[in-house]
Structure 1
Amino acid sequence: MENEYHVRLSSAEIANLWTTYQGDTMSICVFNYFLKHVDDEEVKQLMAHALDVSQQHVEMIRKIMKVEEIHIPQGFGEQDVNLGAGRLFTDVFYLHYMKQMAKGGLETYSRLLPDIYRKDIRSFFSKCLATTIELHEKVTKLMLDKGIAVRPPHIPEPKKVEFVEKQSFMLEGLGKGRPLTGLEISNLYKNVKTNELGSALATGFSQVVESKKLAKYILRGKEIATKHVRIFSDYLGNDSLPVPTSIDETVTDSTEAPFSDKLISYHFNLMTYSGIGNYGSAIAQSQRSDLAIDYSRLMAEILKYGEDGLNIMINNGWLEKPPMAAERKS
């Protein structure tokens, strides 16, 4: 039995602990700064809760790595945040940000859990999922209470059982023949929302980074996000469905950097690769050929964009090497 001897951590367990540590140390920096500039007391309490969750994750991972004699990654710390910097985002942005971060956490933890076998690590990530579900529930309720939650579009309720009769069900989209399915609508809505958040982050980050090259890269990302929003919105508009609006107005005109260029670069790349995952999932759930084709070409575009971002991090010595297999050939 597992408790009769020490079970080594698997590659999945080591990698996911390492990646979670990186993300949560970044979140601690971000939330500590946000808490310096929040007016709404309910938003403040929720953000303090989100900060506490990330701090608990980091503390637990440190304990596990110490016992396992795993080198603790550098991650992010006090050197990556300027708590005295001016306000860059509004309270409304904070709610949209926490909503998307919680959503990303739900997807990440539910995806990794099936590959975790050691009891203590399984317990840890199960608790991560549970606390993220709680945070997502709280932020969703608060957004509804404040009237800023944008629900996915409504569609007619099915009244009878029907079956697809023609193979053209998948091909009709090329001629804009059939309406979108509920799943296709849901994915389009989700990808508009994530790109809108990315656009707002790009607006703020581009104002405060020190590196001109990084600022140019971030603004290129904003252009890509804006283009993708337009393409996805056209699909929704063609079926007379509402489109979520931009949140760029939730960014102030501050030019004082609250975060290091390293943290900003990591954060932006984290969202880029999250978007790639969203597009991949959308392809799998799209039964219209035109949608699948567009998602595929747009995913190729952000893959190239993400690669350029990683090169910036590498050239500046910002990219920590993740846990890897042994180098047998050498």
Structure 2
Amino acid sequence: MTQTNLCFIGAGFHATTNIYPSAVEAGATIQAISTRSIERSKAALLRYGSTGSAYDNATLMLQNEDCNNVVVVAQPQDQTSLTMECIKAGKNVYVDKPLGWTAREAAEIADAAEKAGVVLMVGFMKRYAPVYMKLKELIDGRSMGRTRSFQMKFAVDSTPFCKNEEQFMKLAAIHMVDLMRFLFGEVQHVTGTTVKDGEHINQSISLKFNNGIVGSAYFAGMSAWSRESESVLVTFDHGFASADEMNTLTIHHSRTSDSLPWKALEEQDTVYTPSNSPMSGAYRDLYLRGFVGEMAHFISCCHNNSLPHSSGKDNVGTMALCDAILSSLV
């Protein structure tokens, strides 16, 4: 494997819990870290066994370090400016969502990356989660016929970090919005209903896609959901598939028989799950949630100068759909 050095901007809870260990697991070496605190940067380097350089100034890191690839996992309000600075410095960039608060902002950054000739990837890890990758294969392969419809659920306690519906959509539910586009394509029409009580949010959304697929999504941001939950149920011509909690995919093939199906053992399900093993340590979750997969994809795109699946340009479509859903809510 070709050696890949990464410079990091940001070392908060999400970055150190998910992104740093996934990057190392994907084969990267941490060359430098910049945060607002030199002590925090040094602590992060020590935590991951790196002998790299610590900074409290991202601009200085970009100037000093001979490193072409930068990972930006900072506060949402800072990510746009930091990403633009990396692009202007000629760096390939992985940036956590959201990149740009609107579709227009997202387009400006994507255009800048394209003109600079650098790789720009946005952190939508669900595209790289094994359960959704297998579901995507099923949809594209059409072994069960055409995809007809879907039901999606996402519920989380977003009250600590989302104070209104726009923040909830663009900081939490955005992953599921992007997953819709990844699985089913572009949306033609969207309508929605919302009930908001303080920071508690409940949304019911109906969508029609350009390819004729219809779907519904239930999004909830409430303290009731301290146990985060998500699922996607897809109906095909000849059966259905259910992805539950990112660790189980159940595929049901409809059966045809001369006799009524309840008279014999005609029904059949195929269930995919990961192995349970103490040998997985802490890495099982990082693989199943897609974090290792997205870091490996970013590294590969940097080596090959290829367009990521969740590119800056593709991100424009996700931000536009977020805006369209928000505009439709009544």
TM-score by length of 1: 0.28
TM-score by length of 2: 0.28
The structure carrying a bigger strand percent of its residues is 2
